[in-house]
């Protein structure tokens, strides 16, 4: 039986203790790339120690020089005992951030610290986050392609909990995101037959509305465990979860084999 990937958990500052109490490694989502660029840290009463530094780039305008920023990241890691950096950069790639990632990766590697990046920023030996959120195709094939392109040791499954309502037909492949409350309401009101897609590793059901047919795709603990199993079957040894997305599922998820960083 394949090993379940070790779990790294994207964790806002106020939820660090809950993640650590569960025996999991937090990626502290308390940092942002700000103007300069400089490393900005959120105000928090929690003294962040250990785990991985995680940062996003929301609102960053893409101007400046990467060198001083990379040194700020290294100093913060050393000061707080972080042992890695996760760049949760979503959206189209920003040239300056690509340069920063390319400069930061060898600096971290010399210290034995991994760098995790989204696919548009894949560079050098950085570990590449491959999203589990698909509206079509096959998760297994998506991961197999990533393994072939980047190498097994660099691929990390980024588990993104899905809850989305697609009007049919949906040529663009995008639907309306649902809150967990909205999903529960649809399930309760319509009592649909729920099926499982072994290709997407997600549950789904259909229903009719005045505007036509709808297709709802969603995850629960069982489907997330299946995603992790598919990654493990392919020899992918690491996965990233977002604590706010899986807080209600974590006890059930941890009943299956899992690990730290």
What is the CATH number for 191? 3.10.50.10
Count of domains in the chain? 2
Residue 193 sits in the same domain as residue 146: no
Prediction pTM value: 0.92
Domain around 66 = 6-161+220-253
Q: What is the dihedral of CA 248, 162, 169, 209, to 10 degrees?
A: 10
At 113-169, the pLDDT tens digits run 999 999 999 988 999 999 999 888 999 999 999 999 999 999 999 999 999 999 888
Residue 83 sits in the same domain as residue 112: yes
Residue 70 sits in the same domain as residue 146: yes
Residue 85 sits in the same domain as residue 173: no
Residue 261: which pLDDT band, with cuts at 50, 70 and 90?
Answer: very low
1 assigned to some structural domain: no
Sequence-separated (6 or more) residues with CB below 8 Å from residue 70: 100, 103, 104, 107
Please state the length of the chain.
261
Task: Give the model's pLDDT for residue 168.
Answer: 85
Residue 152 sits in the same domain as residue 169: no
Q: Go through 36-69 and write b for each residue having 16 or more CB atoms within 10 A of its CB, e for each that does not.
A: ebebebeeeeeebeebbbbbbbeebeeebebeeb
259 assigned to some structural domain: no
Cis preceding-peptide flag for 37 (omega within 30 of 0): yes
Decide if 46 contacts 16 (C-beta within 8 A): yes
126 assigned to some structural domain: yes
**Sign of torsion over alpha carbons 260, 73, 86, 117:** negative
Residue 102 sits in the same domain as residue 229: yes
- Distance CA(197)–CA(174), nearest Å, equals 17
Residue 34 sits in the same domain as residue 64: yes
- Distance CA(128)–CA(86), nearest Å, equals 10
The position carrying tokens 């940092």 is 31
Residue 31 sits in the same domain as residue 122: yes
CATH of the domain at 65: 3.20.20.80
Task: Give the model's pLDDT for residue 49.
Answer: 85
At 38-88, the pLDDT tens digits run 999 987 656 788 999 999 999 898 899 999 999 999 999 999 999 999 999
Q: Name the packing angle between helices 139-150 and 221-233 (round to 10°).
A: 40
């Amino acid at each position: 039986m394949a090993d379940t990937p070790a779990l790294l958990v994207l964790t806002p500052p106020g939820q660090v203790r809950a993640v650590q109490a569960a025996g999991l490694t937090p990626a502290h989502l308390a940092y942002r790339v700000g103007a300069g660029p400089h490393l900005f840290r959120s105000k928090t009463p929690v003294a962040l120690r250990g785990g991985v530094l995680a940062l996003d780039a929301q609102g960053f305008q893409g101007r400046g020089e990467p060198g001083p920023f990379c040194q700020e990241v290294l100093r913060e890691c050393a000061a707080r005992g972080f042992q890695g950096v996760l760049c949760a950069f979503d959206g189209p790639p920003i040239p300056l951030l690509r340069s920063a990632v390319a400069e930061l990766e060898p600096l971290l590697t010399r210290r034995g610290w991994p760098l995790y990046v989204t696919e548009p920023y894949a560079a050098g030996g950085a570990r590449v986050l491959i999203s589990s959120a698909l509206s079509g195709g096959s998760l297994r094939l998506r991961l197999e392609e990533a393994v072939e392109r980047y190498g097994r040791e660099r691929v990390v499954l980024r588990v993104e909990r899905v809850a989305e309502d697609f009007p049919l037909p949906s040529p663009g492949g995008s639907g309306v995101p649902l809150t967990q409350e909205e999903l529960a309401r649809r399930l309760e009101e319509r009592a649909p037959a729920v099926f499982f897609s072994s290709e997407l590793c997600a549950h789904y059901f259909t229903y009719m509305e005045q505007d036509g047919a709808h297709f709802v795709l969603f995850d629960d603990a069982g489907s997330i465990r299946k995603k992790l199993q598919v990654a493990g079957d392919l020899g992918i040894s690491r996965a990233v979860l977002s604590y706010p997305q899986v807080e209600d599922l974590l006890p059930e998820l941890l009943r299956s084999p899992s690990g730290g960083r």
